């Protein structure tokens, strides 16, 4: 559908990457906010919290684990979709470099590209784990 609307362009690759990364995050956020414990709604009403105070003080901290899980899924999707988009659109990038290396039997370049892709995923997942550990410090079991 994206190819039909935008052609084989950088805009197509970017829109597919953004679309693929958006939905896991949105769905996890919606799930997190809808699964707030009903008793916490009662607590918010009892304390006389406004809607924004309830969201900031109760709903957001309660749904933060789900939101971060959605971020973890949304973190991998752009990596995969950008490589696939570059393969399809023949755009300059890591995916196209891996494809051209494979087609010309340059094994060291091929493995270097795959390793670079893996290191990029590992570093971004590690950074997200650090952020998650700091944001969910209250949830850690000792």
Looking at residue 3, its pLDDT comes to: 78
Is the residue at 59 inside a domain? Answer: yes
At 141 the pLDDT is: 58
| Residue 96 forms part of a structural domain | yes
Q: What is the pTM of this model?
A: 0.76
Question: Is residue 132 a contact partner of residue 139, using CB atoms and an 8 Å limit?
Answer: no
**Enclosing domain of residue 100:** 6-139
pLDDT at 127: 94
* Three-state SS at 104: coil
Flag whether 41 is in a domain. yes
Residue 1 counted as domain residue? no
- What are the structure tokens assigned to 103, written together? 């087609």
Residue 11: give its domain's CATH number.
1.10.3720.10
Which tokens hold the place of 126? 């590690």
Total domains present in the chain: 1
Residue 38 lies in a domain: yes
- Rounded Cα–Cα distance for residues 61 and 80 (Å): 30
Nearest one of 90, 72, 79, 69 to 118, comparing CA atoms: 79
Nearest-CA neighbor of 12 among 1, 23, 24, 21? 1
Question: What does the DSSP 8-state code read for residue 57?
Answer: I
Is residue 102 a part of any domain in this protein?
Answer: yes
**Considering the domain boundaries, does residue 131 fall inside one?**
yes
Mean pLDDT by 10 residues, the chain (142 residues): 80 88 94 92 91 92 92 89 82 84 92 93 93 83 54
């Amino acid at each position: 559908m994206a190819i039909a609307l935008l052609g084989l362009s950088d805009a197509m690759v970017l829109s597919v990457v953004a679309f693929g990364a958006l939905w896991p995050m949105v769905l996890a956020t919606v799930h997190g906010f809808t699964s707030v414990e009903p008793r916490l709604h009662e607590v918010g009403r009892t304390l006389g919290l406004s809607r924004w105070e309830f969201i900031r003080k109760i709903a957001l901290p309660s749904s933060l684990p789900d939101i971060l899980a959605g971020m973890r899924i949304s973190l991998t999707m752009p990596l995969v979709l950008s490589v696939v988009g570059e393969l399809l659109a023949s755009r300059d990038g890591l995916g196209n470099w891996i494809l051209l290396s494979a087609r010309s039997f340059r094994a060291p370049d091929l493995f270097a590209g795959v390793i670079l892709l893996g290191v990029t995923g590992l570093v971004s997942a590690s950074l997200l784990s650090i952020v998650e550990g700091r944001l969910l410090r209250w949830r850690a079991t000792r």
